[in-house]
Amino acid sequence: MSSKSFKYLRREGGASSRYCCVPFCKMSSRFNSVISFHSFPLDDGMREKWLFNVGREDLNVTPNTRVCSRHFTSDDLIEPSTPTARRLLKKGAVPTVFPRDESTPAPKRKRKVFTQVFKEDRVPTDFPHQDHDYCSSPVQVNLAVKQTEDLRKQVESLMKQVAELTLLQRFCLGRFAASDDDIRFYTRFATYNHLMAFWRLIEPASLNMLRLTRATTKSEDGASFQSLQPIDEFFLFMVHLSIGLVKRDLGHRFNIHQSTASQIIRKWAHFLYTILGSVRVWMPEEAVKAQMPKEFKDYPDTQVVIDCTELRCRTPSSLRLQGEESHCSFKGLIGIAPHGAVTFVSSLCAGSVSDKELLLQSGIVSLLKPGMAIMVDKGFLVDDCVPCKVYRPAYLFKQEVFPANEVKETHSIARLRAHIELLICRVRQHQLFDRTVIPLSNIRTINQLHTVACLLTNYQNGPLLQAWAKD
């Protein structure tokens, strides 16, 4: 609305006059009946916005304090339906129009005003300029401070939401930190705390490793790949070991090139093989006896329970038969202390080797002493190869039935040997050995992966039996 639209006519009648409280506004109901006059809202927030816009924050508002309709847009006004009805304001309307006539002095500076964005309970970022100019009051300063604080909190909340959404889009350890079930599925560690406790053990040594994804790189076709933190490289290795994902799949999940994923797997296999292999897992005789479970009370001199594990692999049988697959296997020896800790892991040998030959090649014989005893399966005929006692379930040899004493002993030893079979099951839960085609050209890497999988069981889970944990 422009000031030229109104003619200041003297109003007929003796009704009391109303005046507009906006500075420099000369509107009065005494001289113009076209203008309507509106009282301040009762809501404290809206009243504060009105006072700020009209430049009268220190005004003492009374029931007779009015703002004329010239300071509102046409969209703010509800025109009367009958000549006798009153003109009303729409809910949330705020005075934003401040025309200047010839008698009004030009303002010294521009000032920002609240507009109707307050209807949406948002703080405006750009205010239209008005013509009034007044000094800032304490109320105005306090309002600005409050608005700044609200904006700061809103920015912090938005930044947090962006970080959470970014994390959910990435396949990394942080994405699954809140779910122990996911951690167990992808890494075989019982909980996130188990995983982080192990990471704190190896983190100092990992700082000396060459970062393969230090910076974002681009492939030949222009695709960009992100860098990985050391802990996420370790997570990638554990995902490969635990659920057997191939390099291409890992590359897509971690947004890296599949050749980089392959290098990370080889690098961490060698690193963990070196780190875990440098820890002496073979326990002295005194330490084994100190941790001896009560289940072994009939076999108190048992130093180690041993068994063989076999990995079946698929590989082309010859260069001429690349489209056909044949199978080969690798064989290894695992030993655990009676209380369940892995204390010996041999290198992998060809699957055709006998148990006796594997025992001799493994090097465990040199660790055994005459005062010790080993517990083996019934087909492990190695009595003449070791310098100590051998506990083994009885088997039929030129006899039709077992003697009564041998039946009891056989059941007892078989029950105790079930624990090493359970441990081998834990190792085989790393599905890489079941789902991945393992080429013969990569025997060294397979040996490292198998050794790491065996030794990691000492860190990933609790005791094999809950009863042993209480002891």
User: What pLDDT does 310 receive?
Assistant: 84
Q: Is residue 13's pLDDT more than 70?
A: no
pLDDT band with cut points at 50, 70 and 90 for residue 412: confident
Q: Is residue 166's pLDDT more than 70?
A: no
User: What pLDDT does 105 receive?
Assistant: 46
Q: Tens digit of pLDDT for each residue in 367-408?
A: 999 999 999 888 788 889 999 999 888 765 555 555 555 566
User: What pLDDT does 362 receive?
Assistant: 92
User: What pLDDT does 2 receive?
Assistant: 45
Q: Is residue 10's pLDDT more than 80?
A: no
Q: What is the percentage of the chain residues whose pLDDT exceeds 90?
A: 26
User: What pLDDT does 167 receive?
Assistant: 56
User: What pLDDT does 316 receive?
Assistant: 53
Q: Is residue 26's pLDDT more than 70?
A: yes
Average pLDDT, the chain: 77
Q: Best-predicted range by mean pLDDT among 109-123, 164-178, 307-321?
A: 164-178
Q: Is residue 447's pLDDT more than 60?
A: yes
Q: Is residue 344's pLDDT more than 90?
A: yes
- Of the candidates 114, 98, 95, the one whose C-alpha atom is nearest the C-alpha of residue 106 is 98
**CB crowding 60-96: b at 16 or more within 10 Å, else e:** eeeeebbbbbbbbbeebbeeeeeeeeeeebeeebbbb
